[in-house]
Amino acid sequence: MRHTISVLVENKFGVLARIAGLFSARGFNIDSLAVGETEDPTVSRMTIISKGDDKTLEQIKKQLNKLIDVIKVVDFKEGEFVDRELMLIKVAVNAENQKNVLEAVESVGGRVVSALPGSVSAEVAGDSNKINGLIELLKPFSIVEVVRTGRIALGTGEKGMKADGKPEVNE
Amino acid sequence: MNGARILIECLKKENVEVIFGYPGGQVLPIFDQLYDAPIRFILTRHEQGAAHAADGYARATGKVGVCLATSGPGATNLVTGIATAYMDSIPMVAITGQVKSFLIGNDAFQEADITGITRPITKHNYLVEDIKDLARVIKEAFHVASTGRPGPVLVDIPSDIQMQETEFAYPEKVQMRGYNPTYNGHPGQIKRAAKAISESKRPILYVGGGAIACDASDEVYSLATKNDIPVTMTLLGLGAFPMTHKLALGMLGMHGTAYANHAIMDSDLIIAVGARFDDRVTGKLDAFAPHASVIHIDIDPASVSKTVDVDIPIVGDAAIVLKQLNKMVKKPDTKDWLKTIDGWKKTYPMKYKIDEKLRPQYVVEQIYEATKGNAIICTEVGQNQMWAAQYFKFIKPRTIISSGGLGTMGYGFPAAIGAKLGRPKMPVFDVAGDGSIQMNIQELATAVIEKTPVKIIILNNSCLGMVRQWQELFYKKRYSYTKLCADTPDFVKLAESYGAVGMRITKKKDVRKAIDKALKINNTVVIDFRVEQEENVFPMVPAGEAINKMISGGLA
Ligand SMILES: Cc1ncc(C[n+]2csc(CCOP(=O)(O)OP(=O)(O)O)c2C)c(N)n1
């Protein structure tokens, strides 16, 4: 099962290495990882997409929580969050097919950020379906490079993820 | 005050009475402060020795052990010691010097990224980047090392920061939003556990190092004796319940007693206290304790249901949880169960061949007889470690000091020096193999000069016995590079060259006399016991087997 985990961490150097190291040392997979500062500059938020059975995921969450620089961990439940990713893509074009490429980008709601005689660069933001859809559409042309941010996720509903500290675990 | 002085002031505030370490270029300012500081400094002869000694001190006393080394090679020499402490959850603060802040990242002389290197083997670590953070970092380091599930914390201090000046103010308390260990178990879960125990027919207590760390042995004793529940212990749990008690089953697992392994496999309720169901204990996981429900009391939520699935998890401090549990449990009827276990005890007693030959198990038994269990037994790793665990009757907590999780050869002797410093009135032994003892033999200088008289019992089989045993049993007796030489080194002369006392014993009848004599000598003593080379550790569960599928070497 694929899981989308949000982690609030201290915005300090070395924290990313701790988290990445934990995943590799314990043999957990990372499918996607995105990090950025939050509204509070002392706190960063990571979105990690990982695969594993329930037992593995439980262990991942517990091990993340054990890290002292980790403030909070949430494993999003299906249907209770949205996730987005941003892709930049560059396609080689010629006079004949440039129009087709521009159309393809527009058809998925992407935006062209640079259109030169030999190449078109575009951005598209959205869920993976949308992003993978555009890649599929552009495959028949000549894709020069693709860069993706990795997914970020946000829980829907009124509650938010706050850096108010770790609660006691009570099992 | 400069950074180095601030460090010393912080250590004083933490009531540090002894530091183990070794000097070098990037810790000169700290050593300059140590010169007239009211803290004892033990100069080991290798940084690994310093780390293990700090660890042994911590295990013997329950306090935080402190070690100190310079940057680069000094720091990397601590690594094995830190990993050893990490695997066994030992509270330790390791302080390292680092190259000057502005040189970090330049491959400067004696630069090593020690926070990077130790990230996976510390509970937490710090690189101090600003003199203003130093006091807070030290406060946090001691707090993190000693609370929750304890563990080593490393603090790396660049030498320029040691020399910078700032005002010293030790924080009153720590504020760490990412760290909040759980001490009180969930009352509902404790109630469920009490009910499960009261209704069980074949309960067993499975007690690990966490019970020692939490000082929970009195509560373990009450739970066991008031309710007639048998107790098995892990290597690190030995001493949590007295081996002399009739409810004690000794160690379980790969080299555990047959009756402990049969009991856990047949039990209907396992009450795990500060133990983590590691592979040396469970054997083949799918086959482990098929009829048992599991109550697991542990301070580390990540230990719960990591391998064995747990029915009633209770996250909390073992002593606090057991105290509450003890108030609620109604005594189950375990008469038949204890009878069954007695049967196993009679059918499969711990035994070895008793004849005129000098066998290692006999030596361990004689240490027990000579001390009646009032001693601290450190061990090296290998057969010596297992015989110590099997044949010494541990009656008190913090009397076995052994590298369980990492299995570090060379641990026992420096750990013994640390233990002796922490508990000077207790006789301290290192039960060693002739292989392991050579891994930190240089600490003979430390033991003699610092007057920490430990007794080194070398069970000298002229080989790397435990590896030889596996080669005998599973590799067709192809003894590939496991032979050592009985006469190189000459341990008696070696001991004497350091100013210690050396003895060599080749006959069974001289064993007890030698131990008694060693106990009377107020110096470090090395006794070279020439034991049977072919002796193996039994019972033994072959790797990957269920733990009731023991082989007994034809003895049972
Ligand atoms: C540092 C280290 N290296 C290697 C090993 C692997 N190992 C485990 S037991 C053992 C043999 C130990 O020999 P010795 O100290 O003579 O003890 P004995 O088993 O003979 O009692 C070895 C090499 C280890 N545990 N630690």
Residues B240 and B311 in one domain: yes
The CATH number of the domain holding residue B370 is 3.40.50.970
Residues B24 and B157 in one domain: yes
Task: Output the residue whose Cα is nearest ligand 1's atom 17.
Answer: B433
Which residues fall within 8 angstroms of residue A128, CB to CB, at 6 or more apart?
A: A83, A85, A151
Answer yes or no: is A171 within a domain.
Answer: no
* ipTM score for this prediction: 0.91
For a ligand 1 pocket test, name from B254, B381, B462 the mutation site with the most ligand atoms within 8 angstroms of its C-beta: B381
For residue B178, the chain A residues in CB contact (below 8 A) are 9-10, 67-71, 165-166
Number of CB pairs, chain A paired with chain B, less than 8 A apart = 65
The CATH number of the domain holding residue A40 is 3.30.70.260
What pLDDT is recorded for position B52?
98
Min CA distance, B466 vs chain A (Å)?
28
C-alpha to C-alpha distance for A101 and A93, rounded to whole angstroms: 8
Residues B203 and B124 in one domain: no
Q: What angle do CA B494, B500, B505 make, to 5 degrees?
A: 70
Mean pLDDT of B312-322: 98
Answer yes or no: is B510 within a domain.
Answer: yes
Query: Are A71 and B302 an interchain contact pair (Cβ–Cβ within 8 Å)?
Result: no
Answer yes or no: is A96 within a domain.
Answer: yes
C-alpha to C-alpha distance for B286 and B263, rounded to whole angstroms: 17
Q: How far is the CA of B386 from the centre of ligand 1 (A)?
A: 12
pLDDT in tens, B509-521: 999 999 999 999 9
Answer yes or no: is B492 within a domain.
Answer: yes
Residues B195 and B329 in one domain: yes
Residues B475 and B524 in one domain: yes
B556: pLDDT strictly greater than 60: no
The answer to whether B81 touches B406, Cβ cutoff 8 Å, is no
Residues A59 and A88 in one domain: no
Residues B342 and B395 in one domain: no
SS3 labels along chain A: CEEEEEEEEECCCCHHHHHHHHHHHCCCCCCEEEEEECCCCCEEEEEEEEECCHHHHHHHHHHHHHCCCEEEEEECCCCCEEEEEEEEEEEECCCCCHHHHHHHHHHCCCEEEEECCCEEEEEEEECHHHHHHHHHHHCCCEEEEEEECCCEEEECCCCCCCCCCCCCCCC
For residue B186, the chain A residues in CB contact (below 8 A) are 170-171
Residues A66 and A102 in one domain: no
B391: pLDDT strictly greater than 80: yes
Q: Quick one: chain B helix, strand, coil %, rounded to 5? A: 40, 15, 40
SS3 labels along B177-246: CCCCCCCCCCHHHHHHHHHHHHHCCCEEEEECHHHHHCCCHHHHHHHHHHHCCCEEECCCCCCCCCCCCC
Residues A16 and A55 in one domain: yes
Number of domains chain A is built from: 2
Residues A14 and A68 in one domain: yes
Pocket of ligand 1 (CB under 6 A): B 380-384, 407-409, 433-436, 459, 461, 464-467
Residues B426 and B491 in one domain: yes
Residues B216 and B325 in one domain: yes
Query: Are A169 and B184 an interchain contact pair (Cβ–Cβ within 8 Å)?
Result: no
Query: Which region among B409-418, B481-490, B545-554 has the lowest average model confidence (pLDDT)?
Result: B545-554
The answer to whether B189 touches B314, Cβ cutoff 8 Å, is yes
Residues A94 and A59 in one domain: no
Banded model confidence at residue A130, pLDDT cuts 50, 70, 90: very high
Which of these three, A78, A93, A111, is where a domain ends? Answer: A78
C-alpha to C-alpha distance for B238 and B261, rounded to whole angstroms: 15
Min CA distance, B182 vs chain A (Å)?
5
Mean pLDDT of B128-154: 98
For a ligand 1 pocket test, name from B46, B84, B466 the mutation site with the most ligand atoms within 8 angstroms of its C-beta: B466
Mean pLDDT of B317-340: 98
Task: Output the residue whose Cα is nearest ligand 1's atom 11.
Answer: B464
Answer yes or no: is B19 within a domain.
Answer: yes
Residues A8 and A65 in one domain: yes
The CATH number of the domain holding residue A117 is 3.30.70.1150
Ligand 1 atom closest to residue B464's alpha carbon, by position in its atom list? 13
A11: pLDDT strictly greater than 70: yes
Answer yes or no: is A163 within a domain.
Answer: no
Number of domains chain B is built from: 3
Answer yes or no: is B352 within a domain.
Answer: no
C-alpha to C-alpha distance for B291 and B305, rounded to whole angstroms: 17
Q: Which range of residues forms the domain containing residue A144?
A: 82-148
The answer to whether B334 touches B201, Cβ cutoff 8 Å, is yes
The CATH number of the domain holding residue B257 is 3.40.50.1220
Min CA distance, A147 vs chain B (Å)?
29
Closest CA to B182 of B308, B325, B303, B306: B303
Residues B343 and B368 in one domain: no
Answer yes or no: is A7 within a domain.
Answer: yes
Q: Which range of residues forms the domain containing residue B207?
A: 187-347
Q: How far is the CA of B455 from the centre of ligand 1 (A)?
A: 20
Answer yes or no: is B541 within a domain.
Answer: no
Query: Are A68 and B314 an interchain contact pair (Cβ–Cβ within 8 Å)?
Result: no
The overall average pLDDT reported for chain B is 97
Residues B9 and B157 in one domain: yes
Answer yes or no: is A97 within a domain.
Answer: yes
Query: Are A171 and B119 an interchain contact pair (Cβ–Cβ within 8 Å)?
Result: no
Mean pLDDT of A82-97: 96
Min CA distance, B226 vs chain A (Å)?
26
The overall average pLDDT reported for chain A is 94
Answer yes or no: is B173 within a domain.
Answer: no
Q: Determine the residue of chain B that is closest to A64 in CA distance.
A: B302
Residues A21 and A69 in one domain: yes
Which of these three, A25, A50, A78, is where a domain ends? Answer: A78
Q: Determine the residue of chain A that is closest to B181 in CA distance.
A: A168
What phi, psi does B441 have (nearest 5°)? -65, -25
Query: Are A66 and B180 an interchain contact pair (Cβ–Cβ within 8 Å)?
Result: no
Banded model confidence at residue B555, pLDDT cuts 50, 70, 90: low
Mean pLDDT of B172-185: 96
Answer yes or no: is A94 within a domain.
Answer: yes
Residues B364 and B336 in one domain: no
Ligand 1 atom closest to residue B439's alpha carbon, by position in its atom list? 1
Percent of chain B with pLDDT over 90: 98
C-alpha to C-alpha distance for A51 and A23, rounded to whole angstroms: 11
The token duo for B209 is 């190092």
Residues A25 and A70 in one domain: yes
Instruction: Give Dmax over CA atoms of chain A in angstroms.
Output: 66
Query: Are A171 and B123 an interchain contact pair (Cβ–Cβ within 8 Å)?
Result: no
Residues A12 and A73 in one domain: yes
Distances (CA, A) of B332 to B200, B227, B288, B335, B409: 6, 6, 23, 9, 43
Answer yes or no: is A12 within a domain.
Answer: yes
Q: How far is the CA of B384 from the centre of ligand 1 (A)?
A: 9
Residues A57 and A91 in one domain: no
Residue with tokens 């860069």: A147
Residues A108 and A131 in one domain: yes
pLDDT in tens, A97-112: 999 999 999 999 999 9
Query: Are B186 and A171 an interchain contact pair (Cβ–Cβ within 8 Å)?
Result: yes
Answer yes or no: is B538 within a domain.
Answer: no
pLDDT in tens, B3-21: 999 999 999 999 999 999 9
Residue with tokens 């027919």: B201
| Test the A interface: residue of B118, B176, B177, B306 with most A CBs within 10 Å | B177
Query: Are A164 and B177 an interchain contact pair (Cβ–Cβ within 8 Å)?
Result: yes
Q: How far is the CA of B66 from the centre of ligand 1 (A)?
A: 26
Mean pLDDT of B428-435: 98
Residues B426 and B317 in one domain: no
Query: Are B314 and A171 an interchain contact pair (Cβ–Cβ within 8 Å)?
Result: yes
Query: Which region among A12-16, B256-260, B382-386 has the lowest average model confidence (pLDDT)?
Result: A12-16
Banded model confidence at residue A168, pLDDT cuts 50, 70, 90: confident
Residues A70 and A97 in one domain: no
